[in-house]
Amino acid sequence: MDIATVFGLIAGSGLILWAIMSKSSIGAFIDVGSVAIVIGGSVSATLIAFPLKNVLGSVKVLMKTIFTKAESPTKLIGDLVQYAEIARRDGILALENVIEGISDPFVVSGLQMAVDGTDPALVEQMLNSEMDSLAARHATGKSLFDTIGRYAPAFGMIGTLVGLVIMLQNMDDPAAIGPGMAVALLTTMYGAIVANLVALPLADKLALRSDEELFLMEIVIKGIIAIQSGDNPRVVEQKLKTFLPPSMRAFEAVEEAA
């Protein structure tokens, strides 16, 4: 579980509630009609902008921001170096027995093609195509939350305008102007919260998750091509470590020395 995402949502919501309750009551900031305009309007606009299957799949995409944890690149490099050692010692066909115990389908696909003797250029091309396809799916998921974040403030403003029209129709009652204005402004607040606390931060987290996954896939591609080329395991390790930032390489070197 990604604690940062959960903590951010809870902390942001808690701070807003604290600010409200320290000066007023929570009931004064609740208006069902305003919620309906912002949430309903944003969802409706998203349904217009995206196919139904993408909108229905948004819950599954959302879970990636909370429950998906990227694999450590150092662990992945260690696994690939181990596969290189097996291939160097027992031949690349020996990896057939290793594939059964690998959970990552992308690694399995690459190693299987290598074991089957597929041309290295074709292996790289097919793995890159799979990576591009994944990036496109991730971009669609991110754009869905970007869309919600873009429309929520707009519907907040629409709700405010609706509230102002209703308020202006009751100008003969001065006592109703203040409460009417407050209700009208609530939709703007709801739209800002939905966009800036929920939709847009989740879209950014999805982009981060996508970058992490694509980064690992690049390491896998280079590692499998090096294994298929018969490179020495030490050379494979050095090639793959170039993907790591200097700080991570230094940390790994300290661990190895210890």
DSSP secondary structure, 144-181, as one string: HHHHHHHHHHHHHHHHHHHHHHHHHTTTT-GGGHHHHH
pLDDT, one tens digit per residue, over 8-33 is 999 999 999 999 888 888 888 888 88
Of the pLDDT bands very low, low, confident and very high (cuts 50, 70, 90), residue 258 is very low
Q: Are 181 and 160 in contact (CB under 8 A)?
A: no
- Of 13-17, 77-81, 218-222, 254-258, which range is least confident? 254-258
pLDDT, one tens digit per residue, over 61-95 is 788 777 777 778 888 999 999 999 999 998 889 89
Tell which wins on pLDDT, 106 or 1: 106
Q: Flag whether pLDDT at 170 surpasses 60.
A: yes
Q: Flag whether pLDDT at 169 surpasses 70.
A: yes
pLDDT of residue 250: 52
pLDDT of residue 69: 72
Computed over every residue of the chain, the mean pLDDT equals 87
Neighbour-count burial for 157-191, b at 16+ CB within 10 Å, e otherwise? bbbbebbeeebeeeeeeeeeeeebeebbbbbbbbb
What residue ranges do the domains of the chain occupy?
1-30, 32-258
CA–CA separation, 160 and 140 (whole Å): 31
Q: Flag whether pLDDT at 43 surpasses 70.
A: yes
